[in-house]
Structure 1
Amino acid sequence: MHDLSVESAWDECLDIIKDNISYQKYKSWFEPIKPVSLQNGTLTIQVPSQFWYEWLEEHYYNMLRSTLAKVLGPEGKLEYSIVMEKSDQFENNRSVRMPQRPMGPVQPQETNGYPESQPERIENPFVIPGIRKTKIDSNLNTNYVFERFIEGDCNRLARSAAMAIADNPGSNSFNPFFVYGPTGLGKTHLVQSIGNKIKEKYGDEKSVLYISSEAFTNEFVHAIRNNRASEFSMFYRNIDVLMVDDIQFFSGKEKTQEEFFHIFNALHQDGKQIILSSDRAPKDVPDIEERLISRFGWGLSADLKMPEYETRYAILERKANDNGIEIDPQIIEFIAHNFKSNVRDLEGAIIKLLAHASLQNIDDIDLAMAKRVLKDMVKESNTQISIESIQNYVCDYFGIDTNKVREKTRKQEIVEARQIAMYLSKKFTKSSLKTIGLHFGGRDHSTVIHAISTVEERISTSPKHKKMVEELHQRIEVASL
């Protein structure tokens, strides 16, 4: 193996990788990679950009690590040579080198059939009897840090509590900390940010472990089969900060729940920090023992909501900046308006756009290209903008509930939002004045006429109002392309 050339070594890796992912993913993510060097057991590969490196590390880390161990041996290492965009300081493209996330050596294993996103198996030290404290792998993704978690109204409480816990784990009133919300809103990112901050602050002084509820259950079953349940329990009781993700998967697993109940009690009594996540509130998790539900409520429960427009925009800006790429604000607006469900969809959209640009060697991404590349990801066609969607855009801009513009309230802010929404409804739809009025709480056509003339007068006399209407006009225009 040590006599391999860099090309031969990478070809062997690719042969294994081909058997474990789809052809399309192989073509998109691995075919463009170029082998650079093979020295002292370290294989260096060149990837087109920073986002490429991050994508491989997040989605194919385990597979790459196992593949490398099989080709180069347990001590084999991977290094990335990242092509950086040209800037003012560098006239031509340059490259920087980044190592793969550090982990202990692994033994070569059969990779065929290895799921590309399968989580790392936790190497629990409880298999070595008599060892009370052992340095363990926290199983944290080092990319998940607070600095990269965009704060907004949708997550402010959860993020603030998480940062307080990271500063003083176990010695706060947020124990346990239970964070919940639909998939793709950043629960795992937030939970692991706490772990990474604690590791940064305390080093090896505190043992930190992140584990999914599914992996916890599998480890428990494995321990029982091997008559090591007591060692399993002892291991977890010695963790200083325990993070269990997707706790809802404990549903219906009575033995696992019983074991976790005792571990929870021991940790809490010893002042250890417990952090849990779920896709729903504690009381709504089905088939969980009442005594566990009660304990979940001892600390703080904080939910993550769907990100509002401003937060979606900020997330996309950060993702582009992280990758060292400038994207036209119109494109960011287009994505922010069309991907509203969760953060994962937002990041998936921009990654797809950047990947397409890299593969096609396109330097300038324009709006037409963004629409073309992302059209299959857009949930619904916006070619015919509706009055309801205009109401949503306007109310989102003003920060008020959409139903308010349909009610009979005369509060100045709501009246102004209602009038602008009527004005824009006339601009963007073919609806009659009567139809527009019906969508605003059954108002008659004369009210709509008055609203339109009022907005037109304000646009002509007030620069502030003119800018406001122009911004809304542009948002709706971009979203309807």
Structure 2
Amino acid sequence: MSVTAQSVWNNCLEFIKDNIQPQAYKTWFEPIIAVKLTENALSIQVPSKFFYEWLEEHYVKILKVALTKELGETAKLVYIIKMENTYGNKQPFTEKIPSSNRSAVKSQDVDIPLNNKSPELRNPFIIPGIRNVKVESQLNPNYSFDNFLEGDSNRLGRSAGLAVANKPGGTSFNPLLVFGGVGLGKTHLAHAIGVDIKDKYPEKTVLYISAEKFTQQYIDAVKKNNRNDFIHFYQIIDVLIIDDVQFLSGKSGTQDVFFHIFNHLHQNGKQVVLTSDKAPVDMQDIEQRLLSRFKWGLSAELQTPDFETRVSILKNKLYRDGVEMPEDIIDYVAKNIKSNVRELEGAIISLIAQSSFNKKEITIDLARVVVEKFVKNTKREVSIDYIQKVVSDYFQMDIDTLQSKTRKRHIVQARQLAMFFAKKFTKASLASIGSQIGKRDHATVLHACKTVDNLSSTDKQFRKYVEDISKKLSV
């Protein structure tokens, strides 16, 4: 059998797959395409410069071992970075970088001088008519990387945030889009990036703003006939952080103006950071040209923290507040409040308050009372695990059966219902839902949701399934 680029790469992938975590393999190796093999040099295509940087930083050793096994000691790896060009050229931007020569990247970096800031541009954060005033960043200094604890659930987002803070506008994470459910730390991370940049680069103009406030400013600017002033103001920002960008859904005028601001900032080497409650692929009523720009950089999902991370968050909170608490009580709170960081910290504050006001010692019994009240009074965010359990119990099957590869009709329908309700009741991305319900991809989840919608309107028995399970999840 002749040796081809694909056969060499397939052998490398087999070795890599056995030596790294499945999720890491799926994220960082499945999208790679083997392009050509020239003597001892294998060329692979990656979707962005960010991809190249991440592989070189985290997987260069395993790549070298895998390739050496296939092509010998003189093996070389060449990256072909293929991505859409920012500047409107129809040809995709392609850049070849040999893995063995990291300095090749440095030589291609270009510093773009900042535009001169005109003193005539209006700042929408000050009283109209007052000009040439320093822009207030609107950042909260209490949100920092120091108190944004790292875990498996947020490692990619936190690492990318640190990279952006170290070199704003100078990495491939532009824009950096952080997405996830309520209370998982999106706003905290966005502020931490801005605060860190202001510390490292005090001369840079950093601005944090919610998408809702941005929209209101734009409406006011149109009413006062100073739309151009509004655009020019945002074009002088060095680091623009927009929170809850999904709020732009359906607002075509605001999307249009943001599109032009985004293009200007990106083309001039300025940094854009966005947060959203959903991934770009799940956003509705956002123009396609804007969504494509959201995908230019990195989309990093913040997921529900695991038990170890929840314990670390609680200990950090107690340390910052100067409060001591027994390990078994910390563990109890962490085990029983799983939904998000906000609720976790809220529960520990309630526990401290109850102890202080009632002059009671913090015991497991007190913790149990407080946690039960807290969970009852807090709107429960239904988890994907809980949805799978409810659907499995309803159809009298175990979760392993629900997640299995079987094509039996009643099991397939149960799985599709679990995916449908996961999309309806959680903020998880389609990809995240698919990976948790039987390791499916986002296209399978999308198909499942459409199937449930269609069957609900045509099949009376199936509609009863939907209504019954919906009641159980809404309790």
What TM-score, normalized by structure 1, do the two folds share?
0.52
Alpha carbons 1:319, 1:347 under 8 Å: kept: yes
Q: CA deviation at 1:352?
A: 1.1
CA distance, structure 2, for counterparts of residue 138 and residue 271 of structure 1: 19
- Structure 1 equivalent of residue 370 of structure 2: 373
CA distance, structure 1, for counterparts of residue 124 and residue 340 of structure 2: 29
Match of 2:309 among 308, 311, 314: 311
Structure 2 residue 332 is the aligned partner of structure 1 residue 330: no
Alpha carbons 2:221, 2:230 under 8 Å: kept: yes
- Structure 2 equivalent of residue 123 of structure 1: 125
Alpha carbons 2:124, 2:230 under 8 Å: kept: no
- Structure 1 equivalent of residue 257 of structure 2: 259
Q: Secondary structure at the match of 1:375?
A: helix
Change (3 A) 1:255 1:405: closer
- Structure 1 equivalent of residue 287 of structure 2: 289
Structure 2 residue 210 is the aligned partner of structure 1 residue 208: no
Alpha carbons 1:124, 1:235 under 8 Å: kept: no
- Structure 2 equivalent of residue 356 of structure 1: 354
CA displacement 1:421-454 (0-9 Å, x = unmatched):
xxxxxxxxxxxxxxxxxxxxxxxxxxxxxxxxxx
Equivalence map 1:159-174=2 (5 Å): 159-174=158-173
CA distance, structure 2, for counterparts of residue 306 and residue 327 of structure 1: 24
Change (3 A) 1:357 1:122: farther
Aligned-CA RMSD value: 2.5
- Structure 2 equivalent of residue 137 of structure 1: 136
Q: CA deviation at 1:376?
A: 1.5
- Structure 1 equivalent of residue 6 of structure 2: none
Residue 317 of structure 1 aligns with an amino acid whose one-letter code is: K
Q: CA deviation at 1:125?
A: 7.4
Structure 2 residue 222 is the aligned partner of structure 1 residue 220: no
Residue 159 of structure 2 aligns with an amino acid whose one-letter code is: S
CA distance, structure 2, for counterparts of residue 236 and residue 182 of structure 1: 28
Identity of aligned residues (%): 50
Alpha carbons 1:241, 1:273 under 8 Å: kept: yes
Alpha carbons 2:336, 2:371 under 8 Å: kept: no
- Structure 2 equivalent of residue 7 of structure 1: none
CA distance, structure 1, for counterparts of residue 130 and residue 173 of structure 2: 33
Structure 2 residue 150 is the aligned partner of structure 1 residue 151: yes
Q: CA deviation at 1:403?
A: 6.5
Task: Figure out how many residues of one structure are paired with residues of the other and give that number.
Answer: 265
CA distance, structure 2, for counterparts of residue 240 and residue 126 of structure 1: 22
CA distance, structure 2, for counterparts of residue 156 and residue 323 of structure 1: 25
What TM-score, normalized by structure 2, do the two folds share?
0.53
Residue 205 of structure 2 aligns with an amino acid whose one-letter code is: S
Structure 1 unaligned regions, length at least 5? 1-120, 381-387, 393-401, 409-481
Alpha carbons 2:164, 2:173 under 8 Å: kept: yes
CA distance, structure 2, for counterparts of residue 275 and residue 170 of structure 1: 10
CA displacement 1:334-371 (0-9 Å, x = unmatched):
11111111111101101111122232344x31111111
Equivalence map 1:228-239=2 (5 Å): 228-239=226-237
- Structure 2 equivalent of residue 275 of structure 1: 273
Larger radius of gyration: 1
CA distance, structure 1, for counterparts of residue 402 and residue 182 of structure 2: 32
CA distance, structure 1, for counterparts of residue 130 and residue 251 of structure 2: 27
Change (3 A) 1:274 1:406: closer
Alpha carbons 2:246, 2:283 under 8 Å: kept: yes
- Structure 1 equivalent of residue 345 of structure 2: 347
Q: CA deviation at 1:277?
A: 0.5
